[in-house]
Amino acid sequence: MLKHLFKMIWNKKKQNSLLIVEILLSFMVIFAVFSFGLNSYSNYAKPMGIDYEHVWAINYNNTLETKNADSLKLFYQGLVRNIKAMPQVLDASITSANIPFSNSHMSTGIKYKGEQISQINNFWVDENYPHTLNLKLLAGRWYNKADHVPGQQIIVINNVLKERLFGNADAIGKIFGNYDDKNKIKIIGVVDNIKFDGDYQAPAKAMYALYDTSAYHWLSKILVKVSPDADAAFESRLYKFMANSLKNSNIEIEHLSNKLTAYNKFTLVPLIILSIVAAFLIINVALGIFGVLWYNINKRRGEIGLRRAVGASGNSVSYQLVNEAMILATLSLIIGSFFAVQFPLLNVFDLPSSVYVIAMLLSIIFIYILVLVCSLYPGKQAAAIYPAVALHEE
């Protein structure tokens, strides 16, 4: 019977091609939505890598007139010391502007064994950074005060970069070149990955460099870990302290948890929009399949009557129509899978292959269920056609 149905479909390929294309397009859209959604979920399921609750970010701009680096260093070290001395403050760290969830990125490249590796997030940090964010050290060590020696070529990298460079091997003590390979940099530590771009984005390659005294000119963020009882009144005190310390500076205090919520919307909004578009398309396809099958039944009443006359039961007729729809869906899915499988093979969008494979399987199941649901009722209607009436109409 299957061969018979294939013949019927093949001989009506022109009429069926539109439905095949419609199912194919739906599959591709569903595949995109599932890939995007699965990737987002798999990233969401990963740990954040830091404790962002009760961490505040103070934005400032350096308004001090002195150009002496040592004076600046003394000033800012004193500032941080004073902040840390406040009763609700647990720790504080001055960093570059690209703090977590800030939409600010600084990237660089490195050279390792002749290979240029680019798009590495570059963070300028101090020795307090991991304590402030509760960033876990996986191997080696973090910076200490003894590392503030000019000419030190050391670096701490995150686990993504470590795995990219060395796989499962130990990274500590390994050396790579900077972006132009003129300076050699030694790895002293590996830290856990941080999802800098929010819950739904995968952690990217990152390295953490210890800034020197010249950096105080342009550093513009202080991360402050506060105790849970730190309230608005304390925030106001902190603001006033900063405003008094840095005259004419634009001071702003943000909570990392609020920044994360805002940043997550960057990912969720496109996903929601894509889902809405996909939902409309699915409804369209469902109506399309339903309509085509309904039209088929009405157009093929004579054939249905004949099949009943030569030995098909009502159920056989119903199964036949459902099976025809499923075969059409299969043809669409074969073509669709050919295109979909290119995504993991060509590493499009740099998503994990498993995301594409699972999304493909889910999309196939989804399309089959959709086609099955849409063909069941027309199939049932076909089964109810009275053969004598159908044959007489013809």
Partner 1 sequence: MIRLQNIEKVYRTDTIQTLALNSINLEVEKGEFLSIMGPSGCGKSTLLNIIGLLDMPSKGSISIDEQATHKFSDKKLAQFRNKKLGFIFQSYHLINDLQVLDNVELPLLYRDSTAKERKQLATEALEKVGLSNRIKHFPSQLSGGQRQRVAIARAIVGRPEIILADEPTGNLDSAMGNEIMEILLQLNRNEGTTIVMVTHDENMAQKTHRLVRLFDGSQVQ
Q: Write out the residues near partner 1 by the rule CB under 8 A.
A: 1, 3-4, 7-8, 11-12, 302-303, 305-316, 386-388, 391-392, 394
Closest C-alpha among 30, 69, 116 to residue 337: 30
| CB nearer partner 1, residue 119 or residue 316 | 316
- Within 10 Å of residue 122's Cβ, how many Cβ atoms? 19
Find the distance separating the first CA and the last CA of the chain, reported in whole Å.
24
| CB nearer partner 1, residue 139 or residue 306 | 306
Closest C-alpha among 59, 362, 18, 86 to residue 222: 59
Nearest-approach distance from CB 271 to partner 1, in angstroms: 43
Q: How far apart are CA 94 and CA 228, in angstroms?
A: 21
| CB nearer partner 1, residue 349 or residue 386 | 386
Closest C-alpha among 364, 374, 319 to residue 340: 364
| CB nearer partner 1, residue 369 or residue 384 | 384
Q: Which residue has the tokens 């000019």?
A: 150
The encoded tokens of residue 35 equal: 């890939």
Nearest-approach distance from CB 273 to partner 1, in angstroms: 42
Q: How far apart are CA 225 and CA 56, in angstroms?
A: 6
Q: Is the distance from CB of 207 to CB of 160 less than 8 angstroms?
A: no
| CB nearer partner 1, residue 4 or residue 182 | 4
| CB nearer partner 1, residue 7 or residue 240 | 7
Nearest-approach distance from CB 268 to partner 1, in angstroms: 48
Nearest-approach distance from CB 5 to partner 1, in angstroms: 10
Nearest-approach distance from CB 362 to partner 1, in angstroms: 34
Nearest-approach distance from CB 386 to partner 1, in angstroms: 8
Nearest-approach distance from CB 197 to partner 1, in angstroms: 55
| CB nearer partner 1, residue 9 or residue 268 | 9
Nearest-approach distance from CB 15 to partner 1, in angstroms: 9
Residue 300 exposed, middle or buried by CB count within 10 Å (0-12, 13-18, 19+): middle
| CB nearer partner 1, residue 350 or residue 394 | 394
Nearest-approach distance from CB 10 to partner 1, in angstroms: 9
- Spatial strand order of the sheet with 55-59 comes to 89-95, 221-226, 55-59, 252-255
| CB nearer partner 1, residue 1 or residue 346 | 1
- Within 10 Å of residue 318's Cβ, how many Cβ atoms? 22
Q: How far apart are CA 282 and CA 259, in angstroms?
A: 35
Phi and psi at residue 207, to the nearest 5°:
-140, 150
Q: In the chain, where does DSSP find H-type helix?
A: 2-11, 13-45, 69-85, 129-133, 159-166, 232-245, 256-299, 301-310, 314-340, 342-345, 353-383, 387-393
